[in-house]
Amino acid sequence: MTESVLDYMTRLGRAAREASRVIGRASTAQKNRALQAAASALDSARAELVAANEQDLAAGRANGLDAAMLERLALTPARIDGMIVGLRQVASLPDPVGAIRDMSYRPSGIQVGKMRVPLGVVGIIYESRPNVTIDAASLCLKSGNATILRGGSEAIHSNRAIATCIQRGLAEAGLPAAVVQVVDTTDRAAVGALISMPEYVDIIVPRGGRGLIERVSRDAKVPVIKHLDGICHVFVDAGADLAKAQRIAFNAKTYRYGICGAMETLLVDQSVAASFLPPMAAQFREKGVELRGCPRTRDLIEAVPASEEDWNTEYLAAILSIRVVDGLDEAIEHINQHGSHHTDAIVTEQQGHARRFVAEVDSASVMVNAPTCFADGFEYGLGAEIGISTDKIHARGPVGLEGLTCEKYVVIGDGQLRGQEPV
Amino acid sequence: MTESVLDYMTRLGRAAREASRVIGRASTAQKNRALQAAASALDSARAELVAANEQDLAAGRANGLDAAMLERLALTPARIDGMIVGLRQVASLPDPVGAIRDMSYRPSGIQVGKMRVPLGVVGIIYESRPNVTIDAASLCLKSGNATILRGGSEAIHSNRAIATCIQRGLAEAGLPAAVVQVVDTTDRAAVGALISMPEYVDIIVPRGGRGLIERVSRDAKVPVIKHLDGICHVFVDAGADLAKAQRIAFNAKTYRYGICGAMETLLVDQSVAASFLPPMAAQFREKGVELRGCPRTRDLIEAVPASEEDWNTEYLAAILSIRVVDGLDEAIEHINQHGSHHTDAIVTEQQGHARRFVAEVDSASVMVNAPTCFADGFEYGLGAEIGISTDKIHARGPVGLEGLTCEKYVVIGDGQLRGQEPV
C-alpha cells in the first residue's frame, strides 16, 4: 500500500458512513436476501475457505502459535456449517429496525412515540476466531448498521475469503459493498485509527482477552461495549431442594470452565451447609475441581483455605471458591461487593427470596433455579451475540440485534404549535 | 475543610454507592413519600430559600455577574412554585424500576425476560440555575438512583437551602441522606474528582454551555450523557399546506430563540418556494428575524447571502438560514449532513414522504407537521428532563426516568441444565 494506514482507515470510515445510510433504510426482505445469499456463497466456497485457512494455519505453525490458538483459528467443516446456520438464523430473526412503541397523544395534540433505529457504523475488533467475522457481520447487517471488521492478523487469509462470500451476498441483494468492510492490513495502527474516528464510527465492540478490551476502552474516542470479568455466583438458599442445587451448581461450574458464565464462587446458607457441602464436594473432587473454602466451609469439607483475593478472582479453570453465609442478605452483599455484575443465581424454593434476589443483585443477568452458564445470546433467544456487556448503560448482558440499535423520538402533529391552544 | 477535595469527593462517592443500594430497592410508595415531603418542605421554607438566594444574588452583583446570569440565578416565588409542582409531578409519574418485559420460555425450558433497573449513582454538573437541583434530584430519586449534585459556585447558598428541603423529604420517608448529596465546596477540583470515580459514579450528566459539556466529556472516566448542538430544520415539502407550514415554521423559530429545539435552517421545496417564501419572509422580518439565504432563496426574497458556515451554525438568536432544495432527497441529505441530529421536521401532506422522512432522517427527534420547538421532556410526557441527549447510544433526545435506568436479564428456571435435555 502506498497509502498511509490512517488514510486507508479514513477511506473505510467515510465509505462505511455512506453505506450506513443505505443499509439503515434497507427493507427487511433485502437484508434477509443478503444474509441468505452470503450463506449460499459460503456453502459454495468451502474449498476456497479451507485453502485460505490452511495458509493461516501454516503461517501460525511457522510463527509458533500454541495449540489452543491454532484450534481457535481452524475453519473445520463443522465451523463452516456453523457459520452458514448462523447466517440463516439471523435472517429468520425479527427485524428490530423501525419498530415504533408507546405512540400516544399529548395534551398539546401532538403524538409522541419511540422508533428503533440502527446505531450507524459499528467497529468490531477481535482476535483469532475467523467465524466471528460472520457473527458480527450478520448481526450488524440485520440491525441496519454498516460495519468495519478488524480481525486478528493471524486470520487474515481466512477473513478475506469469508469477506468475499459476504460481498457476494451484498451484491446479490443490491446493497453497497461498504456495508461490511474487512480491514485488509495487519498494521496495528489500523486499530488505533478505527477507535479514534467518532465522525465515522458510532460504537466499538472489542471481542477478545481482557488486555485487548482494556486497551481499546482506555484509548477509544468512541463509545465501547465492554465485556470484562465474569465472576459468577450460585447461592444455595435455606430450604433449597438440595438435589436440584447440586445439579445446578455442578452444571454452572463444569459445563465449560472457560466461559464467562461459569460459576467461580459457590455461596451456601449456613442452615444447609452441613447436608449440602459434603456430597457436592465429592462430586466436584471426582471431576477434578480444586476447592477453596472459607473457615466454615473447611469445618465441613476438605478444601484449600480461600484468601480474600479468591472472592475477587475469575478462575476460568477447574477451581471453585466456596463460602458459607448467614443468609440471603449476606449472600446478596457478597455478590454485589465481590462479583463482577455479570451473572448470578439463587437456588431457592422461597418465592420471597427469589423476588428479593432478582431485584437486589446488581448484575446483567440474575437467575433463579438455573445455572449461570445459561448466560449466552443463543440460550436467551437473541440469535448470535455480538458480545456480553458488563457496562451499566445502553445494553447489559448478551448483546444481540437490539443492543446494536437505539431509539429516536417520532412526533406526529397536524399543525399544533407550542405555547398556543391545541388546534 | 481540613480534608482534601479528593478525600471529600471520595467520601461522597462511597456514601452514594451505599445509598444507591437502598434507593434501588425502595418501594414506589416510599420514593413518592420522599418527593411529596420534599415539596412540602420547600413550601414551608420559602422565606429561607429567598434569604439564601439573596446572599447568592448579592455576591453575584458584587462579582459583576451580568443581568442574564443574575436572572437565571434568581429564585422568584414563581420558580419556587415551579419546583414544588415539579416534585409533585415526578411523584405522579409511573415508576420505571422493576418493570419486566418480554418474559418468554426458551427451548431449554428456562424463562428469559428483561427487568428495568436503576443505573446506580448519577453525577450532575450544572451551572447557575438552582432549580436544576430539584429537577435532577427528583428524577434520580424516582428512578432509584443515588445522586451527587455539583451546582454552580454562584448558587451555593441557594443550593444548600434546597438541599435541606430534600433532606427533610428523605428523612420523612426513612431513606438515607446520601441518596441526594449536594457538593458543598466551590473548589473546581470537585468536578475533576466527580468525573473520575467509576467505582462510585455510573454516569455523568453535564447541564450547561457547550464549553462545560465538551470539557466534561473529554476528561470523564465515566460515561457521559451529552447534549451538544441543536441545529434544527423544518422542511416545507412539495404540496404542503402552505398556511400550516408558515405557522409551524414561525413557531419553530420564534417560540424562543435560545432553546435547543429552535429552528436554525428552513428548507423549502423548489416547487412551492415562490408562493411560500415571500409571505413567510414578511412575517419573519416583521418579528425582526434576520434572514440568510441561498442564491435561489435570494431570487425570491431579500436576504443576506448564506455562507457554507451558516448551514452548520446553531444561532440561538433571531437569525434564520433558508435554502431552496430540489425535493425530499436533497432535504434529507442536507439535514443528515449539516444538522446536529437533534430535532428535524417535515411539513407535508404526502404520507409516503412523511414515512421516508421519519425513517431516514438520523435525528434524536423527527417530526411531521409539528414545530421543532416541541422537543422537550414536558411536551413529550416525561415529566421533567435530566437533559436532551445528542448521543447515539443508551438514550437519544429528552432524557427522563427511563434514560436514568437500564435493563438486566432475568432468568427463571426450575432446575434446567445447559447442554442437557430439558427437564
pLDDT value for A421: 74
Whether A237 and A207 share a structural domain: no
Chain A closest-CA separation from residue B253 CA (Å): 11
The closest CB to that of B380, out of A360, A368, A409, belongs to A409
State the pLDDT confidence band at B385, using cuts at 50, 70 and 90: confident
The closest CB to that of A408, out of B24, B345, B364, belongs to B364
Whether B381 sits inside 8 A of A106 (CB atoms) is yes
User: What's chain A's length in residues?
Assistant: 423
Over 70: is that where the pLDDT of A305 sits?
Answer: yes
Chain A closest-CA separation from residue B349 CA (Å): 9
User: Which grid coordinates belong to A260?
Assistant: 464467562
Q: Which of B84, B171, B172 is nearest to B131 (CA)?
A: B84
Is A373 in a helix, a strand, or coil?
A: helix
Whether B324 and B361 share a structural domain: yes
State the pLDDT confidence band at B420, using cuts at 50, 70 and 90: confident
pLDDT value for B129: 87
Whether B69 and B199 share a structural domain: yes
The closest CB to that of A408, out of B110, B396, B412, belongs to B396
In angstroms, the first-to-last Cα distance of chain B is 63
In angstroms, the first-to-last Cα distance of chain A is 63
Chain A closest-CA separation from residue B157 CA (Å): 33
- What span, in angstroms and rounded, lies between the C-alpha atoms of A407 and A119? 9
pLDDT in tens, A310-328: 999 999 999 999 999 999 9
Q: Give the full edge-to-edge strand order of the sheet including A343-347.
A: A304-305, A290-293, A319-325, A263-269, A232-236, A343-347, A365-368, B405-412, B111-118, B100-105
Is B384 part of any domain? no
Whether A370 sits inside 8 A of B411 (CB atoms) is yes
Is B390 part of any domain? no
* A to B CB pairs, distance under 8 Å: 210
Chain B residue whose CA is closest to A199: B337
Chain A closest-CA separation from residue B64 CA (Å): 34
Is A387 part of any domain? no
- Output the CA torsion A75→A78→A80→A84 (10° steps): -160
pLDDT in tens, B143-170: 999 999 999 999 999 999 999 999 999 9
How far CA B17 is from CA of B10, B148, B182, B220, in Å, comes to 10, 10, 15, 18
CA atoms within 13 Å, Cβ hemisphere of A216: 29
- What span, in angstroms and rounded, lies between the C-alpha atoms of A273 and A237? 10
Whether A244 and A356 share a structural domain: yes
- What span, in angstroms and rounded, lies between the C-alpha atoms of A14 and A17? 5
Chain B residue whose CA is closest to A348: B414
pLDDT value for A195: 96
CA B5 to chain centroid: 29
Question: Which H/E stretch holds residue B305?
Answer: strand B304-305
Query: Which residues on chain B are in Cβ contact (under 8 Å) with A120?
Result: 362, 392
The closest CB to that of B411, out of A120, A374, A410, belongs to A374
Is B356 part of any domain? yes
Is B419 part of any domain? no
Is A306 part of any domain? yes
Whether B396 sits inside 8 A of A381 (CB atoms) is no
Query: Which residues on chain B are in Cβ contact (under 8 Å) with A354?
Result: 412
CATH number at residue A311: 3.40.309.10
pLDDT value for A322: 98
The residue ranges of DSSP E strands in A97-186, in sequence order, are: 100-105, 111-118, 121-126, 146-150, 180-182
Is B388 part of any domain? no
Burial B126-163 (b: 16+ CB within 10 A, else e): bbbbbbbbbbbbbbbbbbbbbbbbbbbbbbbbbbbbbb
Mutate to test the interface with A, among B20, B385, B405, B418 (most CBs of A within 10 A): B418
Whether B203 and B237 share a structural domain: no
Chain B residue whose CA is closest to A217: B221
Over 70: is that where the pLDDT of A52 sits?
Answer: yes
Over 60: is that where the pLDDT of B43 sits?
Answer: yes
Q: Which of A179, A183, A194, A189 is nearest to A123 (CA)?
A: A194
Whether B359 sits inside 8 A of A98 (CB atoms) is yes
CA atoms within 13 Å, Cβ hemisphere of A386: 33
- What span, in angstroms and rounded, lies between the C-alpha atoms of B383 and B377? 6
How far CA A379 is from CA of A68, A83, A373, B104, B112, in Å, comes to 25, 17, 10, 12, 9
pLDDT in tens, A359-394: 999 999 999 999 999 999 999 998 888 988 988 899
pLDDT in tens, B301-341: 999 999 999 999 999 999 999 999 999 999 999 999 999 99
Mean pLDDT over the full length of chain B: 95
Whether B217 and B239 share a structural domain: no
pLDDT value for B329: 97
Whether A160 and A306 share a structural domain: no
Average pLDDT, stretch A200-216?
91
Mutate to test the interface with A, among B408, B412, B416 (most CBs of A within 10 A): B408
Whether B394 sits inside 8 A of A408 (CB atoms) is no
Q: Which residues pair with A367 in a beta bridge?
A: A345, B411
pLDDT in tens, A340-368: 999 999 999 999 999 999 999 999 999 99
Whether B316 and B369 share a structural domain: yes
CATH number at residue A82: 3.40.605.10
Query: Which residues on chain A are in Cβ contact (under 8 Å) with B110?
Result: 370, 374, 379
- What span, in angstroms and rounded, lies between the C-alpha atoms of A329 and B87? 33
- What span, in angstroms and rounded, lies between the C-alpha atoms of A85 and B91? 50
φ, ψ for residue B150, nearest 5 deg: -120, 95
Whether A171 and A242 share a structural domain: no
ipTM: 0.93
Is B417 part of any domain? no
- What span, in angstroms and rounded, lies between the C-alpha atoms of B142 and B404? 10
| Number of domains composing chain B | 2
- What span, in angstroms and rounded, lies between the C-alpha atoms of A158 and A149? 13
Query: Which residues on chain B are in Cβ contact (under 8 Å) with A410?
Result: 358, 365-367
Query: Which residues on chain B are in Cβ contact (under 8 Å) with A30?
Result: none
Q: Which of A377, A382, A401 is nearest to A145 (CA)?
A: A401
Whether A366 sits inside 8 A of B397 (CB atoms) is no
Query: Which residues on chain A are in Cβ contact (under 8 Å) with B380?
Result: 106, 112, 409, 411
Average pLDDT, stretch A9-34?
97
CB B147 within 8 A of CB B123: yes
Is A286 in a helix, a strand, or coil?
A: helix
The β-bridge relationship of strands B365-368 and B343-347 is parallel
Whether A137 and A248 share a structural domain: no
The β-bridge relationship of strands A365-368 and A304-305 is unpaired
Per DSSP, helices labelled H in B178-314 are 189-194, 210-219, 242-254, 270-287, 295-298
Query: Which residues on chain A are in Cβ contact (under 8 Å) with B119?
Result: 392-393
HEC string of B8-63? HHHHHHHHHHHHHHHHHCCCHHHHHHHHHHHHHHHHHCHHHHHHHHHHHHHHHHHC
- What span, in angstroms and rounded, lies between the C-alpha atoms of A9 and B346? 35
Chain A closest-CA separation from residue B360 CA (Å): 6
Query: Which residues on chain B are in Cβ contact (under 8 Å) with A251?
Result: 417-420
State the pLDDT confidence band at B2, using cuts at 50, 70 and 90: low
pLDDT value for B423: 60
Mean pLDDT over the full length of chain A: 95
Over 60: is that where the pLDDT of B1 sits?
Answer: no
Query: Which residues on chain B are in Cβ contact (under 8 Å) with A417?
Result: 247-248, 251, 255, 371
Question: Which H/E stretch holds residue A142?
Answer: helix A131-142
Whether A363 sits inside 8 A of B414 (CB atoms) is no
The β-bridge relationship of strands A365-368 and A343-347 is parallel
How far CA A44 is from CA of A34, A41, A48, A81, A330, in Å, comes to 15, 5, 9, 12, 57
Whether A43 and A105 share a structural domain: yes
Query: Which residues on chain A are in Cβ contact (under 8 Å) with B413?
Result: 367-370, 374
Chain B closest-CA separation from residue A165 CA (Å): 28
Is A97 in a helix, a strand, or coil?
A: coil
Chain A closest-CA separation from residue B169 CA (Å): 24
pLDDT value for A2: 66
The residue range of the domain holding B199 is 5-225+398-410
pLDDT value for B421: 74
The closest CB to that of A360, out of B25, B108, B369, belongs to B25
Whether B219 and B98 share a structural domain: yes
Chain B closest-CA separation from residue A55 CA (Å): 34
- What span, in angstroms and rounded, lies between the C-alpha atoms of A407 and B380? 14
Query: Which residues on chain A are in Cβ contact (under 8 Å) with B359?
Result: 25, 98, 115
Q: CA angle A405-A407-A412, nearest 5°?
A: 145
User: What's chain B's length in residues?
Assistant: 423
Whether B366 sits inside 8 A of A251 (CB atoms) is no
